[in-house]
Amino acid sequence: MAATVESAPPESLRERIRRTRGWRMALLLLSPYIVIQIIHQAAPGLFPDFLSKLGDFRFLPDWANEALLYLKDEELLGLFNFKDVTRTVSGWLEYPLDLSEQLLIKGGESFGIGPVPWVVFIVLFTAVGAMIGGWKLAVLAGACSLYLTVFNTFGFGAVPWVVLVGLFIVVGAKLGGPWLAALAGACSLYLAVFDTWEDSMITLSIVFVVAPLAALFGWAAGLAAAKARWFEALLVPVLNVMQSMPHFSYLLPISVFIGIGDEAGAIATIMFAIPPMARLTLLGLRSVPPEVREAGLMSGCTKWQMLWRVEMPAARPQFMVGINQVLMQCFGMTVLASFVGTRGLGLPLLNFLQSLKIGKALEFGVAIVLMAIMLDRLSQAAGARRPEHIDYSKSWLQRHPFWIAGAGVVVGGMVLTRITEHAQVLPKDWTVSTAPFWEEIVDWVQLNLKSPLGYFRDFMIVEVLFPMRDGFQALPWIGLLVLVAAVGWRFGGWRLAAIVATFVAYLAFSGFWIESMETLYLVVAALIVSVVIGVPIGIFASTTDRRYAAVQVVLDTFQVLPSFIYLIPVVMLFRVGPVAALTAIVIYATVPAVRYTMLGLRNVPDDMIEAAEMSGCTRTQVLRKVKFPMAFPEIMLGMNQVLLFGLLLVIISAFIGGIDGLGDDILLARTEQALVGEGIVAGFNVAVIGLTADQLITNYARQRKAQLGID
């Protein structure tokens, strides 16, 4: 160690640049960009046009269109038609989707699809059960799928709503105690009483089919990556891209091949939900402590035993987190898939929003929110469960109260349906609607707040947003490229510089530079507002444990809501345009800003704070001089999330209209098949913008955290 001190070589220029920090560093990194800007502004003659704006390149979208046409109409390699393949896949999904819907809401008729698919189905479900819950869950899943087989063969009625509500309560009680039972009961009762039962059950029936499939595929991919380095090297970048692509990038191409409807939504949803599961599986298997693995080896495990008896079960908590995420992603995406005609809770919401029936839209929005919360809390509670020893001093009945209650609910419900039809299907006149009330409020707002809201909106647009947009669009692409590359070089060396420079160059040549800037400006504007709102809330919430816990709950709740939901209140207030979109993005993206600020501040070691206090710091000094610098990398990671969230929502909010940018191109592709190529490239641009920010910020945070000695 002493040797390094003695023989420290003279510092290279590069090292010295690398050591500058704060303002000086910012200036240093900005300087090449500033030079370019000065030349651009002061001596436009010296600055060739193509370095500022590339002409209207459209070769990428055209290629994409041609590729799509080719896939659609031609034989691939002269062997088969790609479209036929996708249609076949969607055909396979048709059975389980229909069955699941029959079971939950429609009532059964026999398909007569033969024994083989059923065997596959039963085996699949039993396997998933075994994977996540051991033999008990395997037996349960096996029994349920067997029941479904019988159900299909003879055709029963759908499960009565009273039974479902009862089962939700019992499952809630089993997984999380009385509070969760009450929550599950209240949520499912709302669905029934507000006449959203049928649509909810359709959504649920789709989720029940796609979530296990997505979990299975994601799990398999994660497993393969954990076992083969080369596959991991391949998979991780693909996951990165997939997770920063907006939802529509999944929905649109698929609807081209499969057509509008439930199947298209289901397939897009499966693909969309695979990445988190794959990631968490990989993470879980990697995080099995080496000692535990060694204990397996010393016990004489073969490779196979190692995987199935040691690694898999030891990684189960992570798998369960993955399953929770899959479930929530599936739910959100299924709702959003109403854009390509998938039925369920999303479709009426979309229609009501488009026809500005805000009251009804609100009711469906609340239904979506409640269902999301219910699914999330139930699956989280399932994941948080840890095995406990069995108390054999109790009788069998005492040890299995919930199984008995569940059986009681099923039998009781069945009996009830014999007594009254109403137990099977809730009669319409028992349902209520608060829509008129909300309509009145909206009318009142429109009447009385129209001018202040309108004034605010117009001010924002004219004075803030449009100038900002023009500024972004006037940026010469080469300037942005140099800037991004410089930042990349500072935090990740030449490699990172090359990567991010390639990204910006891609944007410049994609044919959507202007649109990309238009999208970027809105997201950056939202980022600024989110930070201004979110960071103070984060600071406030991090000060006491109680606030922290309370804010945490709120954030968790916000986080599971499908992004679509955020449009409802915004449309109520601003109808259309960039301010509406901005507001929606801000609401959505403030969540990670608060979360990461809070996390960063909470993670500052206590002894460090005590040391500062003992040095006589006031509370603000502690915050400014100790906590904030320590938490800064984490807060930057929060910014990263804000950007990614913002990018996803800016695309969705294109649907409310009045803003240009990538989202518009993507949405156009929804109605015009000839523009799907454009839509795909635009979607890819969104991913590239996100990845650029992601690469820069995560590298920065890693470097800085290493310097600070935190992880």
Partner 1 sequence: MISCRDVWKLYGPDPEKFLQQHGGEPSIDAVKESGYIPAVVSASLDVMPGEILVLMGLSGSGKSTLVRCLSRLIEPTSGSVHFGGVDLLAASGKELINIRRHRMGMVFQHFALFPHRTVAENIVFPLEVQGVDSATRQSRADEILTLVGLEGRGGYYPRELSGGQQQRVGIGRSLAVEPDVWFLDEPFSALDPLIRREMQDEFLRLQSVLHKTIVFITHDFSEAIRLADRIAILYEGQIVQIGRAEELVTQPATDYVRAFARDVQRDRILTARSVMGDVGHAAADAGTVDAGAVLREIAPAVLAGTSPMLVVEDGATVGSLTRDAVIDAVWGVSDSEGADSGAR
Note the residues at the interface with partner 1 (CB under 8 A). Answer: 134, 289, 291-292, 294-295, 297-302, 305, 309-310, 313-314, 316, 386-390, 392
- Longest distance between any two alpha carbons in the chain, whole Å: 92
The structure tokens listed for 461 are 């647009």
Write down the least CB distance from residue 313 to partner 1, Å. 4
Q: How far apart are the C-alpha atoms of 601 and 548, rounded to whole Å? A: 11
The structure tokens listed for 412 are 């009781």
Strand partners, 80: 76
Write down the least CB distance from residue 321 to partner 1, Å. 15
106 vs 385, beta carbon nearer partner 1:
385
298 vs 397, beta carbon nearer partner 1:
298
Closest by CA to 329, choosing from 370, 271, 405, 290, is: 271
116 vs 298, beta carbon nearer partner 1:
298
Write down the least CB distance from residue 135 to partner 1, Å. 12
Write down the least CB distance from residue 280 to partner 1, Å. 17
Which positions ≥6 away from 236 have C-beta within 8 Å?
A: 225
Write down the least CB distance from residue 5 to partner 1, Å. 16
CA angle (343 as vertex; 341, 346 as ends), nearest 5: 90
Amino acid, single-letter form, for residue 294:
E
The answer to whether 412 and 166 have CB atoms below 8 angstroms apart is yes
List Cα–Cα distances, 315 to 83, 126, 281, 282, 288, in angstroms: 38, 19, 8, 9, 6
List Cα–Cα distances, 531 to 263, 528, 590, 693, in angstroms: 39, 5, 7, 16
Q: How far apart are the C-alpha atoms of 594 and 330, rounded to whole Å? A: 25
Residue-wise over 35-72: b if at least 16 C-beta within 10 A, else e?
ebbebbeeeeeebeeebbebeeeeebbeebbeebeebe
79 vs 298, beta carbon nearer partner 1:
298
Write down the least CB distance from residue 399 to partner 1, Å. 12
66 vs 294, beta carbon nearer partner 1:
294
Q: How far apart are the C-alpha atoms of 463 and 471, rounded to whole Å? A: 13
Q: Give, as one character, the DSSP assignment of residue 449.
A: S
Write down the least CB distance from residue 382 to partner 1, Å. 15
Q: How far apart are the C-alpha atoms of 162 and 528, rounded to whole Å? A: 48
139 vs 416, beta carbon nearer partner 1:
139
13 vs 390, beta carbon nearer partner 1:
390
CB neighbour class for 606 (10 Å; exposed up to 12, middle 13-18, buried from 19)? exposed
Q: How far apart are the C-alpha atoms of 17 and 47, rounded to whole Å? A: 28
Write down the least CB distance from residue 272 to partner 1, Å. 30
3 vs 614, beta carbon nearer partner 1:
3
Q: How far apart are the C-alpha atoms of 62 and 528, rounded to whole Å? A: 35
53 vs 316, beta carbon nearer partner 1:
316
Which phi-psi region, left, alpha or beta, contains residue 432 (left: φ > 0; alpha: ψ -120 to 50)?
A: beta
229 vs 428, beta carbon nearer partner 1:
229
294 vs 458, beta carbon nearer partner 1:
294
51 vs 314, beta carbon nearer partner 1:
314
> Which three-class secondary structure state does DSSP give residue 82?
helix
SS3 per residue for 120-155: HHHHHHHHHHHHHHHHHHHHHHHHHHHHHHHHHHHC
Write down the least CB distance from residue 389 to partner 1, Å. 4
Write down the least CB distance from residue 222 to partner 1, Å. 19
Write down the least CB distance from residue 415 to partner 1, Å. 38
114 vs 290, beta carbon nearer partner 1:
290
Closest by CA to 491, choosing from 705, 636, 704, is: 704
Alpha helices in 307-431 (DSSP H): 312-314, 316-336, 346-354, 358-384, 396-399, 401-419
Write down the least CB distance from residue 266 to partner 1, Å. 33
Write down the least CB distance from residue 301 to partner 1, Å. 5
